[in-house]
């Protein structure tokens, strides 16, 4: 399905060096902010108090969030848990304040609004749990990267795998750089968004690489740069349809999902935009600079004795 078809190939690779310099600068700034400012980790990683309260009727979660934040707590997470009448509240750890003191302060404020509210449980999430989550998150990220490399190396060739992984890591680091620069809260949902971006971004690279392989077989006299430009140009309509429809869904979460889904949707939005950019100007350009050629994807057999070795079609298999 295509909304439109571009007749003349756009020379993307002519400007590949300029765009990759921009990518490198952006990547370097993201790394700098990650080391200088660090990520603003949520309660799941840093530790804090987790409360679960129940109401007779479904409460106004936004009103509860405003009430709890007005008690002097920062980075408060208030969301429905299980049913619309059950609410989970996460409070960051405070020096000199115990879990019991925090929960008493919060439940007193909530009872002032609705006396029928019931505190079902209170737990303290220690920082050691946060360290375990961070460790498992990095392990998951590493396994995803390794799996993508193995998949692309088997499906295409090692040069394509290297190019795609560099492009995907470029997307991930830039997302983390945004969160470090603006000090947005980095929670488990954001980590899930980062892992989703890895898979989503590599899909675009695979589509372009597939078209490059098809072009190598179809256009035997066309150079590598022209083949890459043709592959990217011919998939633009598909890219707009796929990423546009995905972004509409993510945008609805960003605008109407509330604070619970805001940073999750924001991370996905950044990842989608940079995923398109990196697939075209980073992955394809790096693959070109690594020296991809027709022989990497199309194997030739030995010329038989009764065939003319000067025949360009002798021994060729497609």
CATH number at residue 100: 3.30.70.3400
Q: What is the pLDDT of residues 179-228, one digit of tens each?
A: 999 989 888 889 889 888 887 878 888 888 888 888 888 888 888 899 99
- On whether residue 309 sits in a domain, the answer given is no
Rg (C-alpha) for the chain, rounded Å, is 26
Q: What is the three-class DSSP state of 125?
A: strand
Same domain, 163 and 21: yes
Q: Distance (Å, rounded) from C-alpha 39 to C-alpha 177?
A: 8
Same domain, 161 and 255: yes
Same domain, 178 and 145: yes
Range of the domain at 116: 48-125
Beta pairing, strands 48-54 & 83-92: antiparallel
Nearest-CA neighbor of 90 among 64, 108, 116?
Answer: 64
Same domain, 237 and 273: yes
Q: What is the pLDDT of residues 47-88, one digit of tens each?
A: 788 899 999 888 988 889 889 988 888 778 888 877 888 998
Same domain, 262 and 279: yes
Q: Distance (Å, rounded) from C-alpha 7 to C-alpha 224?
A: 19
Same domain, 202 and 73: no
Q: First vs last Cα of the chain: how many Å apart?
A: 27
Kindly state the tokens that stand for 230.
């043709």
Kindly state the tokens that stand for 15.
């400007």
- On whether residue 311 sits in a domain, the answer given is no
Same domain, 148 and 182: yes
**Looking at the 3D structure of the chain, how many domains does it have?**
2
Same domain, 241 and 287: yes
Phi, psi of 138 (to 5 degrees): -65, -35
Cα pseudo-dihedral 211, 195, 253, 175, rounded to 10: -90
Same domain, 108 and 243: no
Task: Flag residues of the chain having pLDDT under 50.
Answer: 300-307, 309, 312-318
* pLDDT of 302: 43
Same domain, 64 and 194: no
Distance from the Cα of residue 63 to its chain's centroid: 31
Last residue of a domain, one of 76, 103, 125: 125
Same domain, 189 and 220: yes
- On whether residue 267 sits in a domain, the answer given is yes
Beta pairing, strands 48-54 & 118-125: antiparallel
Same domain, 95 and 153: no
Phi, psi of 276 (to 5 degrees): -65, -45
Q: Distance (Å, rounded) from C-alpha 284 to C-alpha 229?
A: 9
Q: At 17, which CATH number?
A: 1.20.1640.10
């Amino acid at each position: 399905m295509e909304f439109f078809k571009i007749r003349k190939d756009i020379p993307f690779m002519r400007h590949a060096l300029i765009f990759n310099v921009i990518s490198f600068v952006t990547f370097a700034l993201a790394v700098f902010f990650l080391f200088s400012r660090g990520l603003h980790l949520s309660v799941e990683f840093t530790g804090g108090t987790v409360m679960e309260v129940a109401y007779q009727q479904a409460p106004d979660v936004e009103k509860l969030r405003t009430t709890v934040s007005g008690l002097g707590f920062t980075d408060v997470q208030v969301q429905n848990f299980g049913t619309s009448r059950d609410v989970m509240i996460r409070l960051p750890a405070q020096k000199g304040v115990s879990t019991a003191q925090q929960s008493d302060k919060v439940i007193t404020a909530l009872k002032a609004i609705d006396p029928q509210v019931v505190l079902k449980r209170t737990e303290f999430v220690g920082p050691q749990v946060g360290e375990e989550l961070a460790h498992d998150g990095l392990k998951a990220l590493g396994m995803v990267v390794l799996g993508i490399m193995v998949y692309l190396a088997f499906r295409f060739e090692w040069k394509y795998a290297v190019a795609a992984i560099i492009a995907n890591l470029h997307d991930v680091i830039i997302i983390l750089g945004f969160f470090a620069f603006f000090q947005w809260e980095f929670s488990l949902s954001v980590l899930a968004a980062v892992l989703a971006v890895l898979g989503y971004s590599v899909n675009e690279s695979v589509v372009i690489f597939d078209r490059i392989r098809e072009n190598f077989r179809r256009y035997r006299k066309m150079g590598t740069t022209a083949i890459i430009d043709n592959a990217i140009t011919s998939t633009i309509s598909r890219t707009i349809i796929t990423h546009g429809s995905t972004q509409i869904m993510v945008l609805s979460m960003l605008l109407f999902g509330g604070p619970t889904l805001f940073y999750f949707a924001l991370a996905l939005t950044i990842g989608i935009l940079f995923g398109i950019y990196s697939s075209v100007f980073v992955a394809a350009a790096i693959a070109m600079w690594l020296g991809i050629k027709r022989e990497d994807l199309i194997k030739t057999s030995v010329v038989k004795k009764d065939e003319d070795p000067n025949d360009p079609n002798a021994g060729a298999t497609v």
